[in-house]
Structure 1
Amino acid sequence: MKKYPLKIVIAGHVDHGKSTFIGRLLLATQSLAPEKLAEIQKISKELGKDTEIAYISDQLKEERENNLTIDTTQTFFKTKKRKYTIIDAPGHLEFIKNMISGATLAQTGVLIVDAKEGIQDQTRRHSYLFQILGLKKWIVAVNKMDAVDYSESCFLNLQKNLLEFFQKIPAEPYAVIPISARAGENISRKSDFMKWYTGKPLLDVLDSLDMEDKKIKESLRLPVQDVYEKQGEKMPVGRISCGSIHKGQKVIILPEVQEATVKSIEIFLKKTKIAKESENIGILFQEMLSAKRGQIITQRENPPKPTQSFEARLFWLSDEPLFVGKPFSLRCATQEVQATIDKIIEKRDSSTLDLIEKDAASLAKNETAIARFHTNEPVLVEKFSEIPELGRFVIEEKSSILGTGIVQE
């Protein structure tokens, strides 16, 4: 039986092999169109190189000529068990914001680490961002094992160092897998060169991932993206973050706490009696309501409570420092409010996670912190560990992402 589709972000330090890895996935699953392969061969010849698997995912001319992935691009492949969307996140420090915009779409991730170079700055930052962005059951792929002669001791030593760092976050990968993307080893089948590795090849591990959470599945959260007019009635529309909704169900619309009864549900202009997680829907209610973008529709039983104060773990990305008390725009799901930080409880270096300062006055680029937030109006946020979609947020200014975080309390 085929599983639901999965969105994956591929991240890692520069030149650790992300693009080659993506190209290998496409080749291994026969997801590359013949004309695309011909194009890659033509471009490689023009640049005076042998066919480069990495060019499959490096689609822009500037990327190819500079050997730089400069955009967050999406690629698709499928196995016999499920369909996948790959989000290729740049590894270069100046492009980390692109990774943020891409990773927020992903459910899980693969962190690529060069077996020879080992842990680098972006290895540390990207693993920390995986945690902040709510990626579950993410995988570490120790790449370029061919460059270390498929050495078991080399792999085990790097794995030990990685797990020690992840404990500081704290975070725990679902699996650490030795591979060679260029040689195609341990991607779709077990490698003859690494018989010492007893786990599954990478694609089998991806196929085995089950991302469903029973608690989240039973809690309805529907952020309102827009409100349409239909025959004189207001129809809120949005994508169900978690849970389900059915005709006749009594719901609550937050943060205004409006009670309503579902009159009808539409999916792509067709009526349905029930809608589930990830479906884009429109709803008509029996009551006349004040509906607008940013509201959250939830179940009537034990609904979450709006708040104007919460504690979160924050990762700062902007060149301009963030000061305590300085106002900014905070976006969580479709909600957008003005907010400030009341207190930076502690801040750390994102590469080492070493403590820099407690009760700090500001936060600089690439620093991470635990901070207390205050919003100028009620907002619906929840612990990231309980409802990820309403537990992660971004800080913006003029549509530019300045920072990202996850709600703790």
Structure 2
Amino acid sequence: MAEKLNIKEFLDRDEKKDLLRLLTAGSVDDGKSTLIGRLLFDSKKLYEDQLDALERDTKRYGNAGDNIDYALLLDGLKAEREQGITIDVAYRYFSTNNRKFIIADTPGHEQYTRNMITGGSTANLAIILVDARTGVITQTRRHTYLVSLLGIQHLVLAVNKMDLVDYSQQVFDKIVSDYRDFATPLGIPDIHCIPLSALKGDNVVEHSPYMKWYKGQPLLEFLETVKIESDKNFTDFRYPVQYVLRPNLDFRGFSSTVASGIVRKGDEVIALPSMKKSRIKSIVTYDGELDMAFPPQAITLTLEDEIDVSRGEMLVHPDNLPFIDRNFEAMLVWMDETKMDPEQQFFIKHTTNLTRVKIDQIRYKVNVNTLEQSMTDTLELNEIGRVVFTSNKPLFFDPYRKNKNTGAFILIDPITNNTCAVGMIIDKVNARDLSTNITEEDRRYMRDGYSIVSPESRARLYEQQGHIYAISGEAATEFGYTLERRLFDIGKTVVVLNSREITDIEKVADTLCKQGLIVICIGYSANGKYITNCKAETNKVSSSVEDVLKKL
């Protein structure tokens, strides 16, 4: 006899189910959208109006012959349907008797790397599809690297289109062997390989009668049973304060979401950065007080002592502190159409903290197709690099691989307010150690007496080129200082040297000019410099200065 549930009981049961967030990735036409469409169709998770719309769209756009084109369930953009590719990130929700799922179907093109990063930022598991006819290709390696970069713990290698290679076990085994040779050094802890046909439905929801040699679980069964509970960090208590709650004079609490770890009533905690200690007086929620809390619960903590804690600060256990530092290095994915300007300052949004940050160094850029590292001065759209940062105030962070919530951040352009990059923190960096990261080319410049800061970098910072104005004549002093004032007023970086005070004025002027400064030398003339012979009367100095400015 079928079990009867009222609406409330049904919703309560659904609410208690575990949630698995997953993404699909692969090369163009590997069948990502078709696989998810087949998953929804065969698991009976489509409504009648969705089926009717799917049949209509198949006749209009479909590429599956007389069969239903399941990819159209996800390829919602008109441009995608016309081209038969996925451009945006398509999200789908469905639920089985055992688990709830949110699926992100991400683009396969290299130019949409940022879309895949966005879709995978919250994923517990990744499904990477490989065409059984082509095996492991460049895009497969690229997507696997991005999965490892995002710290996704579970990966399914779905060898699709097995029906086109006669369901051959030899073909499947060869692909799995090639893939593991590449993926093992990336450190992904759980890799599961499944042969399937998304179009025919083999090993998607039920075992395929054509691949009896495969003894593992079908895809849906594996997704329902994969263990993700241990993926969360329950060891390191991190509570970035989001809001100070004062509903009345008798209550003062600190509201936020538990980022990681477990907190219990009575625990001793320390506030960062003040380092003041207290104990947890109560753990308050909308439904009442708790004895303990863990991620990702949203709670309000009250303390036994009146200590000053504000938004952006953090509560932790005294014997388990995060890094507290202004200098750190991270893997950065550039997501803005405008290429990075390394001289610009950005806003960094890290947990509930917002401050300014500058780029100290780009250690290298990673070619996501070959994983080769190369030197670069900047990053462009979809490029990934290892970057060293210095923030205006200390941040409280952990390495991303240890704690995603306190190891991730975004960069915001202070002018456009666009999110221009996302980053995953690797470790802290001692400011004094930055000088050791010097290339052989830098050392050659040092030996030759040149600065390792390029003239181009100085020109971008000062917004000018280095110049020397050698001035002589009766009104040289007044002319020089008047020129300095006018250049300073229009935002130039300028200094004045007087030959009466400096003996080796030419050498000093040359050195400052190479550093990108505008140098005005009074009472001195030299070949090859811009010389102004100021014999004019004092009342004509201003007009002479304006003539110089026009030539600048």
- Confirm or deny a common fold (TM above 0.5): yes
Using the alignment, how far apart are the partners of 1:67 and 1:267 within structure 2?
Answer: 47
1:295: how far off?
Answer: 2.6
- Contact residue 241 and residue 314 of structure 2 kept, 8 A: yes
The answer to whether 1:137 aligns with 2:154 is: yes
Matches within 5 A, 1:117-266: 117-167=134-184, 169-171=186-188, 173-213=190-230, 216-232=233-249, 233-266=251-284
The answer to whether 1:311 aligns with 2:329 is: yes
Instruction: Classify 1:257/1:75 alpha carbon distance in 2 versus 1 (closer, same or farther; 3 Å).
Output: farther
1:257: how far off?
Answer: 2.9
The answer to whether 1:405 aligns with 2:424 is: yes
Q: Partner of 1:23 in structure 2?
A: 37
The answer to whether 1:334 aligns with 2:352 is: yes
Q: Secondary structure at the match of 1:159?
A: helix
Using the alignment, how far apart are the partners of 1:338 and 1:167 within structure 2?
Answer: 38
Q: Secondary structure at the match of 2:107?
A: coil
Match of 1:35 among 49, 65, 73: 49
Considering Cα pairs closer than 8 Å and 6+ residues apart, tell me whether 1 or 2 has the greater RCO.
Answer: 1
More helix by proportion, 1 or 2? 2
- Relative to the length of structure 2, the TM-score reads 0.66
Q: Partner of 1:275 in structure 2?
A: 293
Please list the CA deviations of residues 340-372 of structure 1 after superposition, one character each: whole Å capped at 9, or x if unmatched.
332333333111012323xx4334444433333
- Contact residue 240 and residue 352 of structure 2 kept, 8 A: yes
Using the alignment, how far apart are the partners of 2:130 and 2:312 within structure 1?
Answer: 39
- Relative to the length of structure 1, the TM-score reads 0.87
Q: Aligned Cα RMSD in Å?
A: 2.9
Using the alignment, how far apart are the partners of 2:290 and 2:265 within structure 1?
Answer: 8
More strand by proportion, 1 or 2? 1
Match of 2:132 among 115, 119, 125: 115
Using the alignment, how far apart are the partners of 2:145 and 2:351 within structure 1?
Answer: 21
Instruction: Classify 1:227/1:141 alpha carbon distance in 2 versus 1 (closer, same or farther; 3 Å).
Output: farther
Using the alignment, how far apart are the partners of 1:342 and 1:378 within structure 2?
Answer: 16
Q: For the pair shown, which has the larger CA radius of gyration, 1 or 2? A: 2
Shift >6 Å, 4+ stretches? none
Name whichever of 320-329 and 145-154 sits farther off. 320-329
Q: Secondary structure at the match of 2:323?
A: coil
Q: Secondary structure at the match of 2:108?
A: coil
1:326: how far off?
Answer: 4.1
Please list the CA deviations of residues 67-87 of structure 1 after superposition, one character each: whole Å capped at 9, or x if unmatched.
343432322223343222212
Which amino acid in structure 2 is aligned with residue 293 of structure 1? R
Which amino acid in structure 2 is aligned with residue 246 of structure 1? R
The answer to whether 1:347 aligns with 2:365 is: yes
Which amino acid in structure 2 is aligned with residue 116 of structure 1? R
Match of 1:300 among 298, 318, 325: 318
Q: Secondary structure at the match of 1:141?
A: strand
Percent identity between the two aligned chains: 32
1:24: how far off?
Answer: 1.7
Q: How many residues align?
A: 407
Which amino acid in structure 2 is aligned with residue 20 of structure 1? T
Which amino acid in structure 1 is aligned with residue 426 of structure 2? V
Q: Partner of 1:385 in structure 2?
A: 401
1:378: how far off?
Answer: 0.5
Using the alignment, how far apart are the partners of 1:91 and 1:244 within structure 2?
Answer: 38
1:287: how far off?
Answer: 3.5
Using the alignment, how far apart are the partners of 2:136 and 2:273 within structure 1?
Answer: 44
Which amino acid in structure 2 is aligned with residue 166 of structure 1? A
Please list the CA deviations of residues 268-290 of structure 1 after superposition, one character each: whole Å capped at 9, or x if unmatched.
35333332221122233344444
1:167: how far off?
Answer: 4.2
Using the alignment, how far apart are the partners of 1:144 and 1:331 within structure 2?
Answer: 43
- Contact residue 260 and residue 286 of structure 1 kept, 8 A: yes
Instruction: Classify 1:346/1:336 alpha carbon distance in 2 versus 1 (closer, same or farther; 3 Å).
Output: same
- Contact residue 250 and residue 299 of structure 1 kept, 8 A: yes
- Contact residue 132 and residue 392 of structure 1 kept, 8 A: no
The answer to whether 1:284 aligns with 2:302 is: yes
Name whichever of 230-239 and 316-325 sits farther off. 316-325
Name whichever of 378-387 and 52-61 sits farther off. 52-61
Q: Partner of 2:410 in structure 1?
A: 394
Q: Secondary structure at the match of 1:380?
A: strand
